[in-house]
Amino acid sequence: MVFILGVNFPERNLVKKSLESFFGIGNLTSTRLLARFHIHPTCKVGELGNKQVLDITAALSDMKIENDLRRQYLDNIKRLKETGTYRGRRHALGLPVRGQRTRSQIKTAVKLNRMERRL
């Protein structure tokens, strides 16, 4: 088991996949990170050297990911609501924000958009 940014990953996991398990890291960011530290895409977590693990952790801790990023998301929505914009209202009403029709298929908006939005 290897600790990356305080999360314990089993050694058999791919490094790329493990990185992508963080909120805010997708394919592109993980590819860039791997390239930055010269890790090949099929590398397993167990094959990482100590220095590489430390480097990755340092790089991740500089990035805005996980809770910081979530907070930023929520803050952005909150700002829309507080300034009384149409988008903010739609967020609060649980309706689609970006001009979709509401006759059918607004499940996602109903599920996610609400007064106390969670991420």
Determine the size of the site formed for another protein (CB under 8 A): 13
Nearer residue to another protein within complex by CB, 42 or 83: 42
Planar angle of CA 115, 118, 119, nearest 5 degrees: 140
64 part of the interface to another protein, by CB under 8 A: no
Instruction: Please tell me what DSSP assigns to residue 3.
Output: E
Query: Between residue 21 and residue 40, which ones bind another protein under the rule CB under 8 A?
Result: 31-32, 34-36, 38-40
Stretch that binds another protein, among 15-23, 42-50, 62-70, 96-104 (CB under 8 A): 42-50
The helix (run of H) or strand (run of E) holding residue 9 is strand 7-9
Question: Which of 53, 37, 47 is CA-nearest to residue 11?
Answer: 47
Chain positions contacting another protein, by CB under 8 A: 12, 31-32, 34-36, 38-43, 47
